[in-house]
Amino acid sequence: MKLNINAYQRMRIPFALALFMMLSACQSIWDTSPEFGSTINDAVKDQLVNPNAPVGNKKVTTGLDGGSAKGAVDNYQKSFEVRVPTSSGTYPAGAAMGTSSGAR
């Protein structure tokens, strides 16, 4: 007697075994300890200067007015500009070329 097994029936057993192995690797319950992640939380807290900063602060922080804030931002952006040397020379103003002053 010859068994007539088609390709679908031949693949069922390996597929079922592979599926069982994959599902057995999944953990159904994750029981974390109460200290899970405490190392990171402690590192963040250690970087704070005053962790209780807003508590007891009676001084209201209002920030800058509009003109001062715009001036600060403009000065910050100007600090990245490349300055082109002037046509009078390559030395900045106040720099003198030659020997230092003094008696010989």
What percent of the chain has a predicted confidence (pLDDT) above 90?
Answer: 9
DSSP 8-state class, residue 43: H
The confidence band for 77, taking pLDDT boundaries of 50, 70 and 90, is very high
User: Chain centroid to CA 52: how far?
Assistant: 24
Q: Quick one: CA dihedral 83, 84, 89, 90, positive or negative?
A: positive
Listed in sequence order, the DSSP H helices in 1-104 are 7-25, 38-46, 66-78
Provide the residue type at 52 as one letter: N
The confidence band for 82, taking pLDDT boundaries of 50, 70 and 90, is confident
pLDDT in tens, 33-66: 788 888 988 888 888 877 777 777 777 667 788 8
Q: Is 70 exceeded by the pLDDT of residue 97?
A: no
**Integer Cα distance of 20 and 76 in angstroms:** 62
